[in-house]
Amino acid sequence: MTGVAVVTGGASGIGAAVVEGLAKRGFSVVVADVAASPPTDVSSSDSVAALAVRVAAEHGRCDVLVNCAGVVAVGDVLTVSEEDWTRAFDVNVTGVWRTARAFIPLMTGGGAIVNVASAAALRAIPEMPAYVASKAAVVGLTRAMAIDHAPQGIRVNCVCPGLVDTPLARRTQEQRGGEARAAVRNFEPYLVKRTAEAAEIAEAVVLLATNRYATGATLALDGGRSLH
């Protein structure tokens, strides 16, 4: 066993691929998800605290934390609901803060945190300001955490996926306007003209979790979209 890893949003999509990738590297992986048993909701401090207590009791430590849980809100600033705006930040940003706050004390021998943001944080996409702004905040939070926790031997990095074939991404595209959907179908302005597989993103997450010289990095995995 290489160590103990906790993956939020680990029941599906990118998170599930990360769980598989870490397990192949020998990690004992704890899946934290609203669909897991017992469920974990990163928008609830009590839920996250209960998860940390369970991990401490069962494993005694945490070596890797991957913050992959996330939600999407569709609509520009005039049409997105206040409820959706608030939830996007509560899950995507404050959820990262909650889990880091709960698990850093378990990284007594050092460790690694990988936050999953989005290429939308690097180049905005239409009709999704809540999502764009929340994921941009994750990039900034990652850099701040890397500086603050380096003395404890904790590395903090961030991945920014582009278009990935996941259930959440497919549902999101169905909610967007026709012009936005057409641009995605034509892979505008991607240099790699295809959708990424979740496993391709997971490979990068595992790399950042295990490479001992990587910290404070923001890695775009978006087929070149953010270059334009």
- Known catalytic residue: 213? no
Q: With the C-alpha atoms ordered 14, 153, 101, 24, is the resulting torsion angle positive or negative?
A: positive
CA–CA dist 176, 48 (Å, integer)? 32
155, 1 in Cβ contact below 8 A? Answer: no
Which pLDDT band, with edges at 50, 70 and 90, does 185 fall under? low
- Look at residue 176 and tell me whether its pLDDT is greater than 70: no
Q: How far apart are CA 127 and CA 129, in angstroms?
A: 6
Residue-wise pLDDT for 64-77, tens only, equals 999 999 999 999 99
| Mean pLDDT score of the chain | 93
How many percent of the chain have pLDDT more than 70?
A: 91
| Residue 166 φ then ψ, to 5° | -135, 160
Give me 36's structure tokens: 């897991």
Question: Which strand (E) or helix (H) includes residue 159?
Answer: strand 154-161
The predicted structure's pLDDT at residue 209: 98
pLDDT of residue 169: 66
Q: What is the pLDDT of residues 100-154, one digit of tens each?
A: 999 999 999 999 999 999 999 999 998 999 999 999 999 999 999 999 999 999 9
Q: What is the pLDDT of residue 171?
A: 67
| pLDDT mean over 200-215 | 98
Both structure tokens of 170: 């497919």
Please state, in angstroms and rounded to a whole number, the distance separating the CA atoms of residues 182 and 141: 33
pLDDT at 1 over 60: no
Q: Work out the pLDDT band at 2, boundaries 50, 70, 90.
A: confident
Tell me the pTM.
Answer: 0.92
Give the per-residue pLDDT at 115.
98
Annotated catalytic residue: which of 27, 85, 89, 131?
131
Residue 166 pLDDT: 75
Give the up-direction half-sphere exposure of residue 191: CA atoms within 13 A in the CB hemisphere.
9
- Comparing 115-119, 151-155, 163-167, 210-214, the range with the smallest average pLDDT is 163-167
The number of residues making up the chain comes to 228
Look at strands 3-8 and 27-32 and give their pairing: parallel
Q: At what angle do helices 13-24 and 167-175 cross, to 10 degrees?
A: 160
Predicted confidence (pLDDT) at residue 39 exceeds the cutoff of 70 = yes
Kindly report the backbone phi and psi dihedral angles of residue 156, in degrees, each rounded to the nearest multiple of 5, phi listed first. Answer: -135, 125
Q: For domain 3-162+197-221, give the CATH superfamily.
A: NAD(P)-binding Rossmann-like Domain (3.40.50.720)
Given a cut of 60, whether residue 211 has pLDDT beyond it is yes
